[in-house]
Amino acid sequence: MNSVIAEHFTRIETYFVTSPIIASYTITRQNISFSDGKLRARLTLINQDFLEVFEYVTETGGEIRLRKYSFHWQKQDGTLIKRWDNAPHYPALPNAPHHIHLENQVVQSGDAPSSVLTILNEIEQELLHDD
């Protein structure tokens, strides 16, 4: 088991516990090998929205690299709010394969997040500072 990846996933789970926007969470999968790791989780947010989390990371020289990801934020009724992912199905977008799915089937280019913590900070800003 890779201790750097284990620490990365522990940092993420600690954020799940302490975040003011997460009401509850379930880790549905966590695998850590010598050089890579996968994490899947389902979060219920304080407004009853859901966030489905998937991270596939590798570690080299003490550095974590997010290889594949999908962070799917939806309303309680299943309506998409936003999904960040790097599936290679929009190669013409700037910053491909990184992109964001928005409501009404709009897809826009996006930057690569460093982890789900980047996305949770963005959601936190929207939920706690929405005027």
pTM of the predicted protein model: 0.93
Query: Peptide bond preceding 88: is omega within 30 degrees of 0, i.e. cis?
Result: no
Q: Is the pLDDT of residue 86 over 70?
A: yes
Residue 129 confidence (pLDDT): 83
Strand locations in the chain, DSSP E?
22-32, 36-45, 50-60, 63-74, 80-85, 99-102, 107-109
Domain extent, residue 86, equals 3-128
Q: Is the pLDDT of residue 130 over 70?
A: no
Residue 66 confidence (pLDDT): 96
Percent of the chain residues topping a pLDDT of 90: 92
Domain count of the chain?
1
Cβ neighbours of residue 54 closer than 8 Å, sequence gap 6 or more? 38, 39, 40, 68, 69, 70, 71
